[in-house]
Chain A
Amino acid sequence: DGGITQSPKYLFRKEGQNVTLSCEQNLNHDAMYWYRQDPGQGLRLIYYSQIVNDFQKGDIAEGYSVSREKKESFPLTVTSAQKNPTAFYLCASTREVSNQPQHFGDGTRLSIL
């Protein structure tokens, strides 16, 4: 079955450490997105990518970095510059043009040790 796989499901980070969240899709979708979800805040866009080797900052990109070396993969690195990384992270993808809804992965919960 086609879908979006996020791993790991739970992740713990020590202070000053960078961690990378994985997002892989086999839907042949062109665009991929990363969102952060905090209680009472809804989903906020971190980064998105429309094609391989290209990506754009979202509303809360500070302290995060991404890469898009393959169409199927869009990993998110939470750097030590992100002072409040504890949150639920969701990856999404969409095909073709803008009128298509986004499909979401199951998320990764990141916590600080």
Chain B
Amino acid sequence: AQTVTQSQPEMSVQEAETVTLSCTYDTSENNYYLFWYKQPPSRQMILVIRQEAYKQQNATENRFSVNFQKAAKSFSLKISDSQLGDTAMYFCAFMKHVYLGYSTLTFGKGTMLLVSP
């Protein structure tokens, strides 16, 4: 079974600054996917970024980037130039690769990020 750990229940950052959210995971799988989801106060779950474990290059999406360290089983999210709209709960999630059928997501407990003016 996989586990995902987010050790920071809450974080705060000022507008325009950079913040990094931590995520570690435990798995015996070699082929898998990692995701960051954002849940703003509206409670809609929004995919922020994803990383394939077989890719060494870190994924980036505009102001969002990850630091994927496979050996250390670490998957942190960096938000650059933070904006007020980034205020949300952020969830790290793990999904193992399967060759047939569908896989399931295992979520961390989340980190609440507050961006202040």
- Residues of A with Cβ closer than 8 Å to B? 30-31, 33, 40-45, 48, 50, 58, 88, 90, 92, 94, 97-99, 101-104, 106-107
* Nearest Cβ on chain A to B4's Cβ, whole angstroms: 8
Interchain CB contact (< 8 A) of B35 among A31, A101, A103:
A101
Q: Is the CB of B44 within 8 A of A106?
A: yes
A50 touches B101 (CB 8 A): yes
Q: Contact: A97 with B102, CB < 8 Å? A: yes
- From B11-19, B69-77, B79-87, B91-99, the one touching the partner chain is B91-99
- B contacts, CB < 8 Å to A: 4, 9, 33, 35, 42-45, 47, 50, 52, 91, 95-105, 107-110
B44 and A104 contacting across the interface, CB-CB below 8 Å:
yes
User: Can you give 14 contacting A-B residue pairs, CB < 8 Å?
Assistant: A40-B110, A43-B105, A45-B104, A50-B102, A58-B104, A92-B45, A94-B102, A97-B100, A97-B102, A98-B101, A98-B103, A99-B97, A106-B42, A106-B44
The answer on a CB contact under 8 Å between A42 and B52 is no
Give me 16 other A-B pairs in contact (C-beta within 8 A), A97-B101, A98-B97, A101-B47 excluded.
A30-B102, A33-B104, A40-B9, A40-B110, A42-B91, A42-B108, A43-B91, A43-B107, A92-B45, A94-B102, A97-B98, A97-B100, A98-B102, A104-B44, A107-B43, A107-B44
Indicate if the CB atoms of B43 and A88 lie closer than 8 Å: yes
Q: Do B102 and A31 have beta carbons less than 8 Å apart?
A: yes
Contact B109 A41 (CB under 8 A): yes
Q: How far is the CB of B103 from chain A (nearest CB, A)?
A: 4
A48 touching B104 by the CB < 8 A rule?
yes
Distance of A30 Cα from B43 Cα, bound (Å): 24
Residues of A contacting B42 in the complex (Cβ-Cβ under 8 angstroms)? 106
Q: Which residues of the partner chain A approach B110 to less than 8 Å between Cβ atoms?
A: 40, 42
Min distance, Cβ A27 to any Cβ of chain B, angstroms: 14
A21 vs chain B, min Cβ distance (A): 15
Contacts of A101 in B (CB 8 A): 35, 47, 50
Question: Which A residues are in CB contact (< 8 Å) with B4?
Answer: 42
Central interface residue in B42, B47, B99, B105, by most chain A CB within 10 Å: B105
Q: How far is the CB of A8 from chain B (nearest CB, A)?
A: 14
